[in-house]
Structure 1
């Protein structure tokens, strides 16, 4: 059904406020754990970076330096993946508050409850977020695999270390760019939710109470 004031909105009608949808429930549960993961990953990256810097300054073994050259970005970008996931889940949580809060206001006013359906921007946000997360995690895993192979004494892996690092840097950049693009769509969805709530509030005085 379309809004009587702005036909661009699509919404559901019910007698009571609806609960959170699945992405919003997931966001409410996971935003804090992934934020904690980020806070744990970044210090590990700093420590590994310091160890690698010490190896470089003391002319350490080439395989150790090369292996750490993969472990350091693996730890750091695990942190980036986690903190970006926390931001994404926080956006979903905010949208959930608009969904349930707006419904409760309408229910308390004794009016029918109109709940905004998931906009296209929200679907794009979820899709881009998933792509970005998988891309960054894939880069992290490949860095760990490369570092482990080098640390295990593989001469072939050592010879290809720099090439792998360059390739994986491109993968990481793509993941970061995709995450940032997803945030734009997530914030656009918040704007849509705010506009819908404003429209709905203006409609309430002109409606009859349920059962009235």
Structure 2
């Protein structure tokens, strides 16, 4: 019965633990720097928001207020891109721990090492996460570019407002893609747990390798 359960998965068989794959190595290295970047970007965005609110309350120039709107949102979404990246990299890191830990356990038990190949959900997770990151970072960069292009003329302010509206839609698409990617990452973790549970129950009945 357990052999049939394992056959439900696409696996590779080796004599030694395969360790981390490349995305998992990247996730292990980058999840903390991304979190640190988010923790720096969010306070900066809050400070910029306070400065902009003060400009509005004291009757500051329309050019300054509009410029700060772009800069503040740009900083905020660098934070969002970073924190979502940190979550995604942490998921990759967790998957790496399962992959390496499961392989190490099987190798130490003297059995063949059966490892789950990268599921489709993991591949789509990686692709969607990268697209989401590029979308959010691209929108954030454009906010800074458009902020530098603001002048005090009516035409410039109207153009800036239109650009802000367009980028708002782009940002929402980026966030939606990130949430889909995270969901796929969590689904991959669930699949890995199912596989490893089946494999662990199979080990006692399996002959040690020669």
TM-score, normalised to structure 2's length? Answer: 0.96
In structure 2, the partner of 1:194 is: 193
Residue pairs, 1:69-148, within 5 angstroms: 69-148=69-148
The answer to whether the 8 A contact 1:146-1:157 is kept is: no
Aligned to 2:16: 16
Superposition misfits of 4+ residues, deviation over 6 angstroms? none
Structure-1 separation of matches of 2:193 and 2:80: 29
Cα deviations across residues 110-148 of structure 1 (Å, max 9, x unaligned)?
100001100000001001101110100111011000111
Indicate the residue corresponding to 1:204 in structure 2: 203
- Figure out how many residues of one structure are paired with residues of the other and give that number: 208
User: Is the Cα–Cα contact under 8 Å of residues 6 and 199 in structure 2 kept in the other structure?
Assistant: no
Q: How far off its partner does 1:6 sit?
A: 3.6
Q: CA RMSD in A?
A: 1.3
Extract unaligned runs of 5+ from structure 1.
Answer: none
| Kept after mapping to 2: 8 A contact 1:11/1:116 | yes
Supply the distance in 2 between the matched residues of 1:8 and 1:118 (Cα, whole angstroms): 14
Residue 183 of structure 1 is matched in structure 2 by: 182
Q: Following the alignment from structure 1 to structure 2, what is the Cα–Cα distance between the partners of residues 99 and 157?
A: 54
